Chains A and B, each alone.
Chain A
Amino acid sequence: MRESDRQSDRSHAHSRRNFLMVTASSAAVPALGRAVSAKAAPADVSTSASSDPVAFVLEINERQHRVALDVRTTLLDALREHLGLTGTKKGCDQGQCGACTVLVDGRRVLSCLTLAASVQGHSITTIEGIGGRNGELHPMQQAFIEHDAFQCGYCTPGQILSAIACVNEGHAESDAAIRESMSGNICRCGAYPNIVAAVNQAKLSMRA
């Protein structure tokens, strides 16, 4: 984020906060506010006016992480900027390149278009969480290395998460199916043929 953006966000946040306090007192909130806060979980974020941090728990790679975040924070920024999990990459930040792909409940999604607060209670898997307990590589990681399925490597974590999901979804039955299923992951280095080869290899060991 550019510094000028930060400043405009801050000043806007301030005026919004004032506005919200005034409006809240005019009884617009209670209808839903009560109902939502009456729920046991997830954490009640309904009173999260403007940019005040909201505390909640994210389950990432089978570990619970307690966070306090501005509700605007995307899952991608939560991982990278707040939890130090920088394996997930920010490419376009607009849902067009796939570099930020992670798994939520086993399904691949774009973390740049996912609000962190919206995935509390769900199980998130990032590139840091796919290896074995003793540091063994996931078969898909091994296959990417063996087939030279990357050059600069920036898109690779997203490619690998997407490729694992591709196999698990049953979309890796042919080269054409793999290409179609992987079309949401852009590789500017053009390693596509090697990525297809890596998926073809890994799908055999993943089934085993």
Chain B
Amino acid sequence: MRPFTFDSAATPREAIETALAWNGGANGTTHFLAGGTTLIDLMKLDVMRPERLIDINPLRSSEFGRIAIGDGGLWMGALVRMADAAEHPDIVRHFPAVAQSLQLAASQQIRNMATLGGNVLQRTRCPYFRDVSYRECNKRNPGSGCAALDGFSRSHAVLGTSDQCIASYPGDFAQTLIALDAMVDMAGPNGLRRMSFAELHRQPQSRPEIETVIQPGELIVSFFVPATPLARRSVFLKVRDRESYEFALASAAVGLDLNNGIVRDVRIALGGVATVPWRASQAEAVLRGSVLDEAAQDAAARVAFSGAQAREHNGFKIELGRRTLKRAIAQAAVLEI
């Protein structure tokens, strides 16, 4: 691991000011340290090379570490540990997909460490990104090419890819946030801003190294999930190579508002198959207003992957992704709420 300086911040303002003062290159030379499960791992692998870490864990005693549930919805601080949200009784009951997506991620040890804010920003598991002996990686080494395009592509994305990057977004929780219309609050040099969580991540296009719209010095403060019919009837389904402690090959988060078998509203986000937490808007449009029968589910699943582009080894994800989505919709439909 390369040398770095180590700070800790007692207030968000301290964290932001220090990050701004030290931010140098395009990738930023300062990183906030939360759970460390991505950052320390990638620093050991020499993939991430911050010159300075700012430990923001002391902020956990503030709103950054709190969960609050009110009539309006669920509010989760960015430094809440995954395990604490996953097992919160009110989240399990009223926001089932939130709990499921966190419970099905990683291991208990990692869920005890990793934070919600860090979770949505975790980096891809693309082996060519993680292994610096490959020079070609546009995410790690902008402009160098993409070794995955003609490499072993079984784990890679089929949606949202570009000719510069096909790395799959690895997380689960972000898909649920999209399916439940969540908002994200960020603090930065210009104060607070709130945006739809679905707009946080950027597709690779010609700049795979830029993964989100977060600006230098900005910190995620919290997530807000509105209490809607979509949240109550929500499901997160994850399909993977082994039963536990594995990243998704395909996943689907579905929030469904049903009225006498007719879809009043629906949100769908897909994981394991896309370069970003993927909102399947066209599939939502197919379902909205329709009777939720098998034909409608088939049509939605087809449309969701109509733009999919496979490489040599990941074509199976298209059919797997369709079936995963169909099953998630069916599970959401029969959920007893």
Contacts and interface: CB of A to CB of B under 8 A. Distances in A.
Contacts of B145: none
A130 interface: no
Contacts of A167: none
B107 A48 contact: no
B212 interface: no
Contact of B37 (A33, A46, A95): A95
A133 interface: no
Interface string A76-119: 00000000000000000111001001000001111001110110
Given A35-B14, A36-B14, A28 B21 contact: yes
Interface stretch (B3-11, B148-156, B228-236): B3-11
B144 interface: no
Interface in B35-88: 36-37, 40-41, 44-45, 51, 53-55, 57, 83
Interface in A61-86: 70-72, 74
A10 B57 CA distance: 29
A74 B10 contact: no
A101 B109 contact: yes
Query: How would you classify the secondary structure of chain A's contact residues: helix, strand, loop or mixed?
Result: mixed
Contact of A98 (B37, B83, B107): B107
B113 interface: yes
B22 A118 contact: no
Contacts of B10: 35-36, 39
A50 interface: yes
A162 B174 CA distance: 27
Contacts, number: 127
B227 interface: no
A31 interface: yes
B1 A113 contact: no
Given A16-B51, A31-B14, A74-B40, A110 B22 contact: no
Interface string A1-41: 00000000100110011001000000011011101100100
Given A9-B1, A32-B17, A50-B3, 8 more contacts: A36-B7, A48-B6, A54-B6, A71-B6, A94-B44, A95-B37, A95-B41, A110-B109
Interface of B: 1-11, 14-15, 17-18, 21-22, 33, 36-37, 40-41, 44-45, 51, 53-55, 57, 83, 106-110, 112-113, 243-245
Interface of A: 9, 12-13, 16-17, 20, 28-29, 31-33, 35-36, 39, 42, 45-51, 54, 70-72, 74, 93-95, 98, 101, 107-110, 113-115, 117-118, 162, 165-166, 169, 171, 179-181, 183-185
